[in-house]
Amino acid sequence: MAQDYACKSLGLFLFLSDNSSGYIRLYYSLVGPNYGQTVFDAPGKSIVYSVRLISDFSLALFVADQLRIPDSLKYLLRAMAWGASATAIAGIFYLVSKFDIYHFITGLGEQVLNNDRTRGLSIEPRAMGLGAYGVMVLLLGRRSISKYWILLLFINLFD
């Protein structure tokens, strides 16, 4: 507590992340074993959060850079529509056959197999809600997304 107070009063925060304990800090310690020393540390999950933040920001830059090119938006939306449809088809397949494709491919998530909720190609059933993006994209783009847009829309809605 005292060390945190010293850190906040004297420290220079180099990088703030999305968790209260997830920051990299450089400070002059007034208490504890590091008394009188300049400390550079990364408590908690700072490295993990920092890498996530950098990768998210870089991904946003990449997508923004690509979307400056004409027709790239349509290309991205098509990929999203087909991705959502693939997840929806896998979900419907599970309802019919009780065969979990996600578990077969990745070997993960056995704990959700026995609750009778389909999860498609996602790690958990809640992520099937992302199919709403597929519905949105198909309703906005319609024939420019795919000539089978009505079929894909029906699959995503059924899911």
Q: Which residues bind other proteins (CB under 8 A)?
A: 48, 51-52, 54-63, 66, 69, 72, 75-80, 82-84, 86-87, 102, 105-108, 121-123, 127, 130-131, 133-134
In the complex, what is the shortest distance from the CB of residue 136 to other proteins, in angstroms, rounded to a whole number? Answer: 12
User: Is the distance from CB of 44 to CB of 55 less than 8 angstroms?
Assistant: no
Residue keyed to tokens 């929806």? 88
Nearer to other proteins, 5 or 62 (CB): 62
Nearer to other proteins, 12 or 124 (CB): 124
Helix (H) or strand (E) holding 28: strand 24-28
- 40 phi and psi angles, rounded to 5 deg: -125, 110
Nearer to other proteins, 7 or 155 (CB): 155
CA neighbor of 88 nearest in space, from 152, 137, 147, 141: 152
Angle at 79 between CA 48 and CA 77, to 5 degrees: 100
Nearer to other proteins, 98 or 126 (CB): 126
In the complex, what is the shortest distance from the CB of residue 57 to other proteins, in angstroms, rounded to a whole number? Answer: 7
In the complex, what is the shortest distance from the CB of residue 142 to other proteins, in angstroms, rounded to a whole number? Answer: 17
